[in-house]
Structure 1
Amino acid sequence: MKPVPALSGVKQKLAERVARRIEDDIVRRGWPVGEGLGSEAELVVRYGVSRAILREALGILTYKQVVAMRRGRSGGLVVHAPAAAVVAGSVATYLHLIGVSVDELYDARITLEVLAARLAARRIVEDDIERLRTVAATDPIGMPPSLVIAEVSRNPMLAILVPTLTRVTGALAGGPRPDFRLGPSAKSARGHALRAIAESVVSGDEATAARRMRRHLEGERTWLKRATASSEVPAAAPASGATSAERIALTVAGAIRREGHAPGHVVGNEAALRDRLQVGRAMFREAVRILEHNGVAQMRQGPGGGLVVARPDPVRVVQALALYLEWLAVTPADLLEVRAAVELRVVELAAARFPGADPEPLLASLTAAPDGGRAEAGVLVTLAGLAGNRLLALFTAAFGRLSSFRTAEPAHDALARIVDAVVVGDSSLARNRTARYLQVLAGSTTPGTAVRG
């Protein structure tokens, strides 16, 4: 069994490290939206880099919509409120670039959307009912009922993660497209399922809402796997709302996957690729920036240079997701609700896949976490890598950047018992011990307190 590669990205370029420093400064200042951070000349001095490196760093942050450069006499770098759609698009683009599978996608969707259905049934209020029923009855393109249910759950993490996975689903299905229509029987079955889920949420029946959501998503998984294996849907398309540069980046990444190029392979030089893609220099270079940001390819200068295949790097997208969740000021209770669902599934999958695997990386990660807190996130990220699901691994890594719990020695002992259960391949025991470990963490949270990494 080959585990999923660990979430340890390639060495960051200087511009990326500067971008991270600017992000850290923004977070330390409480994310002051609209506040100026200084002129370009002042920033060059503050961060000790050349104007070219600073501009590249600001390009990364502008792409993530963390900042904007305001021109004019009173201009300079200004802090932006990060947009949920941009973050969702960034995560969705990365997942699309790495060629996430239908099974990986739906395992993550079921984990999160079953939780959302349970919480929505528990927390729905009068003002939510008419909207949920209307969306379930009409199923409009661009606003699937799952998004409304995620909002009704009152967990801000689900309100960003569920739309992200919905965008990936749309890309895998080759849409959404106005000309796409389900057959009458499939449309009728989908409509019935959505209305049934909505009514169970409205009635406050958590168990039924969760069961119906799981059954609906399993049916979607079966259909999409069959459809993508045939000509029923076209090849995966960029998610709706993708920019032209993102579409070009996805085209290049798709070609790299189809042709099976290994890291280090030179796809072509800039002139040849621009000619093949029929794009201008500015658009091509923006697409290359997206590929580099996601670790899919790097532009190498000099003799023998060109666009070089790299190993997709989840660290950047983990940083973007964690940064946005930190800006939302999610509470420890919000975080723990989603962590529990994800980590219970992670240990279950890891234990099922573990027999025959090398236990040393997992045991080493446990040894490195003697005192609780963030160090324990390394164990969970290692487990997520063993689970074989890159989406759950990515979410686990992002959660680890947010966790500020300082747990006592008994909690660390509980983590060691989880590892023992995974190593022997006992999924049920691993879930049981993880549930008890999470109960210890729940006891250390303070309701209403914002999580800060």
Structure 2
Amino acid sequence: MAARLFVNVCASIRHDIRNGKLKPGDKLPSERELAETLGVGRPVVREALRSLEEAGILQFRRGITGGAFVSSGDTRTVTRSITDLIFLGAISLDNITEARTCLLRFAAELAAERGTDADFDALEANIDEAVARRDEIDLHEKVRLVGSFHDHLGRAAHNEALVLLIHSVTEVVAQILLKTQPEVYDLVIESRRRLVTHLRARDREAAAAEVTAHQAELHAKVVDRARQLHTLDLTETPTAVSS
């Protein structure tokens, strides 16, 4: 019965979010108020709220004005799920690379169609910063900086769902790159210069081909070492993204 009540509380809050009664940034009623409204005990409400926090739907803030708030979205939930599935053997590195290539190729095609000069300027600025700071930053910051290029590419595609999916998968790949540390920096920069050229020319096919070829080459550089995932000790790195 307690399990059923817990599920009902979660379902009730999710329903209020879906129908617009609760929006990102809104504060939920207190545990006591929710318990009274839903006719359950406070421990049941507390467990449901923590579960929704783990799912990235809610976030908790401390202080006088704190409490449970509807989240604006958190890609870490998707990233954790993918990482867990890798360790369980349900997803291989080959699968991840293939899926990531499809996402990036589609993003490149859309960016060639929809991207603005400002979008392309942001991509080039990211490349220039990565080159300028190559020898100045630590490995984690370097992976984050270089990987943020794909966040810009997703935005240039003007598809928020695509941005979310790319970012989540890229964070997993970032963890692998941090462990394997392949020598691919020059390879990445050169490919991205060519990609932006194709995007500015509105050449969908060339942009997609560049992304596909680069991902295959990058995969070949790391695959032998990255296959040993059980030795990589992948951990959550909320701000890390990959090349």
Counterpart Cα distance in 2 of 1:197 and 1:44: 55
Measured after TM superposition, the shift of residue 33 of structure 1 is 3.9
> Comparing both chains, which one has the higher relative contact order based on Cα–Cα distances under 8 Å and sequence gaps of 6 or more?
2
1:259-298 CA-to-partner distances (Å, cap 9, x unmatched) read xxxxxxxxxxxxxxxxxxxxxxxxxxxxxxxxxxxxxxxx
> What's 1:82 paired with?
72
Instruction: Mark the CA change 1:193 to 1:35 in structure 2 (over 3 Å): closer, same or farther.
Output: closer
**2:79 aligned with 1:92:** yes
* Alpha-carbon contact 1:106-1:217 (below 8 Å) kept: yes
> What's 2:186 paired with?
188
SS of 2:103 mapped into structure 1: helix
Measured after TM superposition, the shift of residue 235 of structure 1 is 1.1
Measured after TM superposition, the shift of residue 164 of structure 1 is 0.3
Instruction: Mark the CA change 1:236 to 1:222 in structure 2 (over 3 Å): closer, same or farther.
Output: farther
Instruction: Mark the CA change 1:89 to 1:35 in structure 2 (over 3 Å): closer, same or farther.
Output: closer
Instruction: Mark the CA change 1:165 to 1:115 in structure 2 (over 3 Å): closer, same or farther.
Output: same
Counterpart Cα distance in 2 of 1:222 and 1:60: 39
Q: Number of paired residues? A: 219
**2:17 aligned with 1:26:** yes
Instruction: Mark the CA change 1:160 to 1:175 in structure 2 (over 3 Å): closer, same or farther.
Output: farther
**2:158 aligned with 1:154:** yes
> What's 1:303 paired with?
none
Instruction: Mark the CA change 1:23 to 1:133 in structure 2 (over 3 Å): closer, same or farther.
Output: same
1:275-325 CA-to-partner distances (Å, cap 9, x unmatched) read xxxxxxxxxxxxxxxxxxxxxxxxxxxxxxxxxxxxxxxxxxxxxxxxxxx
TM-score (normalizing by structure 2): 0.77
1:335-389 CA-to-partner distances (Å, cap 9, x unmatched) read xxxxxxxxxxxxxxxxxxxxxxxxxxxxxxxxxxxxxxxxxxxxxxxxxxxxxxx
Match of 1:66 among 58, 61, 73: 58
Which of the two has higher C-alpha Rg?
1
Measured after TM superposition, the shift of residue 98 of structure 1 is 1.9
| Pairing of 1:159-238 with structure 2 (within 5 A) | 159-175=163-179, 180=181, 182-183=182-183, 186-229=184-227, 235-238=232-235
Measured after TM superposition, the shift of residue 223 of structure 1 is 2.1
Unpaired segments ≥5 residues, structure 2 = 131-141
Query: Which amino acid in the other structure matches residue 150 of structure 1?
Result: G
**Which one has the bigger helix percentage?**
2
> What's 1:368 paired with?
none
| Pairing of 1:39-438 with structure 2 (within 5 A) | 39-63=30-54, 64-68=56-60, 78-83=68-73, 86=74, 88-99=75-86, 100-139=91-130, 140-143=142-145, 144=147, 145-175=149-179, 180=181, 182-183=182-183, 186-229=184-227, 235-241=232-238
* Alpha-carbon contact 2:24-2:72 (below 8 Å) kept: no
* Alpha-carbon contact 2:112-2:202 (below 8 Å) kept: yes
Measured after TM superposition, the shift of residue 208 of structure 1 is 0.3
1:65-116 CA-to-partner distances (Å, cap 9, x unmatched) read 52547765xx686543423xx2x11111111112231111011111111000
Counterpart Cα distance in 2 of 1:60 and 1:205: 46
* Alpha-carbon contact 2:52-2:58 (below 8 Å) kept: yes
1:33-58 CA-to-partner distances (Å, cap 9, x unmatched) read 44444232221122222211110111
Query: Which amino acid in the other structure matches residue 193 of structure 2?
Result: R
Counterpart Cα distance in 2 of 1:37 and 1:138: 42
1:91-143 CA-to-partner distances (Å, cap 9, x unmatched) read 11111112231111011111111000001111121212222112234445314
Counterpart Cα distance in 1 of 2:57 and 2:155: 23
SS of 1:171 mapped into structure 2: helix
